[in-house]
Chains A and B, each alone.
Chain A
Amino acid sequence: EPEVTQTPSHQVTQMGQEVILRCVPISNHLYFYWYRQILGQKVEFLVSFYNNEISEKSEIFDDQFSVERPDGSNFTLKIRSTKLEDSAMYFCASSAPSNQPQHFGDGTRLSIL
Protein backbone atom coordinates (compact mmCIF):
# COMPACT_ATOMS: atom_id res chain seq x y z
CA GLU A 1 0.00 0.00 0.00
CA PRO A 2 1.39 3.47 -0.87
CA GLU A 3 2.66 5.48 2.05
CA VAL A 4 3.44 9.07 2.96
CA THR A 5 7.15 9.31 3.77
CA GLN A 6 8.65 11.94 6.09
CA THR A 7 12.30 12.78 6.71
CA PRO A 8 14.06 13.12 9.03
CA SER A 9 12.34 11.13 11.76
CA HIS A 10 14.00 13.29 14.42
CA GLN A 11 15.57 16.75 14.07
CA VAL A 12 17.45 18.57 16.80
CA THR A 13 18.16 22.25 16.16
CA GLN A 14 19.44 25.25 18.05
CA MET A 15 16.96 28.02 18.73
CA GLY A 16 17.05 30.65 16.02
CA GLN A 17 18.08 28.25 13.27
CA GLU A 18 16.01 27.37 10.22
CA VAL A 19 14.70 23.85 9.65
CA ILE A 20 13.17 22.16 6.65
CA LEU A 21 10.93 19.15 7.15
CA ARG A 22 10.41 16.95 4.13
CA CYS A 23 7.52 14.83 2.95
CA VAL A 24 6.83 12.65 -0.04
CA PRO A 25 3.04 12.35 -0.41
CA ILE A 26 1.29 9.46 -2.14
CA SER A 27 1.93 9.91 -5.84
CA ASN A 28 -1.61 10.36 -7.20
CA HIS A 29 -2.82 12.58 -4.35
CA LEU A 30 -3.55 16.25 -4.97
CA TYR A 31 -4.17 17.71 -1.51
CA PHE A 32 -1.33 18.06 0.99
CA TYR A 33 -1.36 19.01 4.65
CA TRP A 34 0.89 19.73 7.61
CA TYR A 35 -0.23 19.16 11.20
CA ARG A 36 1.55 19.69 14.50
CA GLN A 37 1.31 17.90 17.84
CA ILE A 38 2.95 19.40 20.90
CA LEU A 39 3.90 16.70 23.39
CA GLY A 40 0.86 15.43 25.29
CA GLN A 41 -1.60 17.56 23.33
CA LYS A 42 -3.93 16.99 20.42
CA VAL A 43 -3.01 17.21 16.75
CA GLU A 44 -3.49 20.68 15.25
CA PHE A 45 -3.94 21.70 11.62
CA LEU A 46 -1.27 24.02 10.20
CA VAL A 47 -1.79 24.35 6.47
CA SER A 48 -3.30 22.77 3.39
CA PHE A 49 -1.86 22.99 -0.11
CA TYR A 50 -3.56 22.39 -3.45
CA ASN A 51 -2.74 23.27 -7.03
CA ASN A 52 0.63 24.72 -6.01
CA GLU A 53 -0.70 27.19 -3.52
CA ILE A 54 -1.83 27.39 0.08
CA SER A 55 -5.56 26.72 0.21
CA GLU A 56 -6.08 27.19 3.93
CA LYS A 57 -3.93 27.95 6.99
CA SER A 58 -4.46 28.17 10.71
CA GLU A 59 -3.53 31.05 13.00
CA ILE A 60 -0.48 29.02 14.05
CA PHE A 61 0.89 29.24 10.51
CA ASP A 62 2.37 32.74 10.67
CA ASP A 63 5.21 34.36 8.72
CA GLN A 64 7.69 32.06 10.43
CA PHE A 65 6.35 29.14 8.40
CA SER A 66 6.31 28.42 4.68
CA VAL A 67 5.50 25.44 2.48
CA GLU A 68 6.71 24.48 -0.93
CA ARG A 69 6.34 21.74 -3.48
CA PRO A 70 9.68 22.18 -5.25
CA ASP A 71 9.21 19.28 -7.65
CA GLY A 72 6.60 16.67 -8.53
CA SER A 73 7.13 14.57 -5.45
CA ASN A 74 8.37 16.51 -2.41
CA PHE A 75 6.36 18.73 -0.09
CA THR A 76 8.34 20.74 2.46
CA LEU A 77 7.64 22.76 5.59
CA LYS A 78 10.20 25.45 6.44
CA ILE A 79 10.37 27.01 9.87
CA ARG A 80 12.53 30.12 10.10
CA SER A 81 14.16 31.38 13.28
CA THR A 82 12.95 28.49 15.39
CA LYS A 83 11.70 29.01 18.94
CA LEU A 84 11.55 26.66 21.90
CA GLU A 85 7.79 26.38 21.51
CA ASP A 86 8.20 25.00 17.99
CA SER A 87 9.29 21.72 19.56
CA ALA A 88 6.63 19.22 18.49
CA MET A 89 5.85 16.29 16.25
CA TYR A 90 5.07 17.46 12.72
CA PHE A 91 2.89 15.28 10.53
CA CYS A 92 2.48 15.46 6.78
CA ALA A 93 -0.69 14.08 5.18
CA SER A 94 -2.11 13.75 1.69
CA SER A 95 -5.46 12.92 0.16
CA ALA A 96 -6.98 12.30 -3.23
CA PRO A 97 -9.54 14.83 -4.50
CA SER A 98 -12.67 12.81 -3.99
CA ASN A 99 -14.19 11.54 -0.76
CA GLN A 100 -11.08 9.73 0.42
CA PRO A 101 -9.32 9.73 3.80
CA GLN A 102 -6.13 11.58 4.61
CA HIS A 103 -3.03 9.42 4.84
CA PHE A 104 -0.48 10.44 7.44
CA GLY A 105 3.26 10.01 7.51
CA ASP A 106 5.10 8.75 10.60
CA GLY A 107 5.99 12.30 11.63
CA THR A 108 9.15 14.29 12.30
CA ARG A 109 9.95 14.93 15.94
CA LEU A 110 11.46 18.42 16.12
CA SER A 111 13.42 19.36 19.22
CA ILE A 112 14.56 22.97 19.65
CA LEU A 113 17.37 23.50 22.16
Chain B
Amino acid sequence: GIQVEQSPPDLILQEGANSTLRCNFSDSVNNLQWFHQNPWGQLINLFYIPSGTKQNGRLSATTVATERYSLLYISSSQTTDSGVYFCAVGRRGAAGNKLTFGGGTRVLVKP
Protein backbone atom coordinates (compact mmCIF):
# COMPACT_ATOMS: atom_id res chain seq x y z
CA GLY B 1 0.00 0.00 0.00
CA ILE B 2 0.88 3.67 -0.15
CA GLN B 3 3.27 4.95 2.52
CA VAL B 4 2.74 8.45 3.92
CA GLU B 5 5.42 10.20 5.94
CA GLN B 6 4.94 13.53 7.67
CA SER B 7 7.59 15.83 9.06
CA PRO B 8 8.39 17.13 11.53
CA PRO B 9 6.61 14.90 14.05
CA ASP B 10 6.47 17.74 16.58
CA LEU B 11 6.61 21.50 16.21
CA ILE B 12 6.63 24.21 18.86
CA LEU B 13 5.94 27.73 17.66
CA GLN B 14 5.76 31.12 19.23
CA GLU B 15 2.52 32.89 18.45
CA GLY B 16 2.93 34.90 15.26
CA ALA B 17 5.55 32.61 13.74
CA ASN B 18 5.28 30.94 10.33
CA SER B 19 5.84 27.24 9.68
CA THR B 20 5.83 24.58 6.98
CA LEU B 21 4.64 21.00 7.40
CA ARG B 22 5.59 18.36 4.87
CA CYS B 23 3.89 15.20 3.60
CA ASN B 24 5.72 12.69 1.41
CA PHE B 25 3.94 9.78 -0.24
CA SER B 26 5.27 6.72 -1.98
CA ASP B 27 3.05 6.40 -5.06
CA SER B 28 0.90 8.45 -7.40
CA VAL B 29 -2.36 9.61 -5.85
CA ASN B 30 -5.48 11.35 -7.01
CA ASN B 31 -6.75 12.40 -3.61
CA LEU B 32 -4.86 14.34 -0.97
CA GLN B 33 -6.44 15.98 2.03
CA TRP B 34 -5.03 17.94 4.97
CA PHE B 35 -6.82 17.76 8.30
CA HIS B 36 -6.48 19.50 11.63
CA GLN B 37 -7.41 17.38 14.64
CA ASN B 38 -8.49 19.62 17.47
CA PRO B 39 -8.20 18.83 21.20
CA TRP B 40 -11.70 17.30 21.16
CA GLY B 41 -10.60 14.79 18.52
CA GLN B 42 -12.56 16.23 15.62
CA LEU B 43 -10.96 16.01 12.18
CA ILE B 44 -11.37 19.36 10.49
CA ASN B 45 -10.91 19.24 6.73
CA LEU B 46 -8.47 21.99 5.72
CA PHE B 47 -7.73 21.31 2.07
CA TYR B 48 -8.56 18.90 -0.70
CA ILE B 49 -5.48 19.32 -2.85
CA PRO B 50 -4.38 16.43 -5.10
CA SER B 51 -2.33 18.97 -7.06
CA GLY B 52 -1.65 22.69 -7.24
CA THR B 53 -1.87 25.42 -4.63
CA LYS B 54 -4.76 26.62 -2.48
CA GLN B 55 -5.11 29.26 0.20
CA ASN B 56 -7.61 29.69 2.99
CA GLY B 57 -6.92 32.62 5.26
CA ARG B 58 -3.62 32.12 7.07
CA LEU B 59 -3.27 28.58 5.75
CA SER B 60 -2.12 27.51 2.33
CA ALA B 61 -1.13 24.22 0.76
CA THR B 62 0.84 23.08 -2.25
CA THR B 63 0.96 19.59 -3.74
CA VAL B 64 3.57 18.60 -6.31
CA ALA B 65 2.08 15.33 -7.46
CA THR B 66 4.91 14.46 -9.84
CA GLU B 67 7.40 14.65 -6.96
CA ARG B 68 5.04 13.02 -4.46
CA TYR B 69 4.91 15.62 -1.73
CA SER B 70 2.63 18.22 -0.27
CA LEU B 71 3.33 21.20 1.97
CA LEU B 72 1.05 22.96 4.44
CA TYR B 73 1.97 26.52 5.37
CA ILE B 74 0.78 28.19 8.54
CA SER B 75 1.38 31.93 8.69
CA SER B 76 1.07 34.21 11.71
CA SER B 77 0.28 31.23 13.92
CA GLN B 78 -2.27 31.53 16.73
CA THR B 79 -2.79 29.41 19.83
CA THR B 80 -5.93 28.01 18.21
CA ASP B 81 -3.73 26.45 15.52
CA SER B 82 -2.46 23.97 18.11
CA GLY B 83 -3.35 20.34 17.50
CA VAL B 84 -2.31 17.54 15.19
CA TYR B 85 -2.16 18.03 11.43
CA PHE B 86 -2.71 14.96 9.27
CA CYS B 87 -2.08 14.43 5.61
CA ALA B 88 -4.12 11.67 3.96
CA VAL B 89 -3.82 10.31 0.44
CA GLY B 90 -5.86 8.02 -1.76
CA ARG B 91 -5.96 6.37 -5.14
CA ARG B 92 -9.43 6.48 -6.57
CA GLY B 93 -10.66 3.25 -8.11
CA ALA B 94 -13.81 1.30 -8.72
CA ALA B 95 -13.85 0.20 -5.08
CA GLY B 96 -13.81 3.73 -3.76
CA ASN B 97 -11.06 5.92 -2.48
CA LYS B 98 -9.78 4.83 0.91
CA LEU B 99 -7.49 7.32 2.55
CA THR B 100 -4.11 6.40 3.99
CA PHE B 101 -3.09 8.77 6.77
CA GLY B 102 0.35 9.90 7.76
CA GLY B 103 1.52 9.86 11.34
CA GLY B 104 0.71 13.54 11.83
CA THR B 105 2.58 16.63 12.96
CA ARG B 106 1.77 17.73 16.51
CA VAL B 107 1.83 21.53 16.67
CA LEU B 108 1.91 23.58 19.84
CA VAL B 109 1.62 27.35 19.52
CA LYS B 110 2.70 29.20 22.64
CA PRO B 111 1.34 32.64 23.53
Query: Which residues of A lie under 8 Å from residue B94 when comparing CB positions?
Result: 55
From A55, A101, A102, contact of B95 by CB (8 A) = A55
Bound Cα distance A16, B1 (Å) = 32
Query: Which residues of B lie under 8 Å from residue A50 when comparing CB positions?
Result: 95-96
Stretch with Cβ within 8 A of B (4 or more), from A20-28, A38-46, A76-84: A38-46
Are B31 and A101 neighbours in the complex by a CB distance under 8 Å?
A: yes
For A106, give the chain B residue with the smallest CB separation: B42
How many residues of B are in contact with the other chain, CB < 8 A?
26
Are A48 and B101 neighbours in the complex by a CB distance under 8 Å?
A: no
Query: Which residues of A lie under 8 Å from residue B103 when comparing CB positions?
Result: 42
Are B43 and A48 neighbours in the complex by a CB distance under 8 Å?
A: no
A42 and B96 contact, Cβ closer than 8 Å, known pairs A101-B31, A101-B48, A107-B41: no
A89 and B104 contact, Cβ closer than 8 Å, known pairs A48-B96, A50-B95: no
Query: Which residues of A lie under 8 Å from residue B96 when comparing CB positions?
Result: 31, 33, 48-50, 55-56, 95
How many residues of A are in contact with the other chain, CB < 8 A?
26
A91 to chain B, nearest CB (A): 6
Are A42 and B33 neighbours in the complex by a CB distance under 8 Å?
A: no
Query: Which residues of A lie under 8 Å from residue B58 when comparing CB positions?
Result: none
Bound Cα distance A86, B10 (Å) = 27
From B35, B45, B92, B104, contact of A99 by CB (8 A) = B92
Please name 14 pairs of A and B residues whose Cβ atoms are closer than 8 Å in the assembled complex, sorted by A: A33-B99, A42-B101, A42-B103, A45-B98, A56-B95, A89-B41, A99-B50, A100-B48, A101-B33, A101-B45, A102-B97, A107-B41, A107-B42, A109-B41
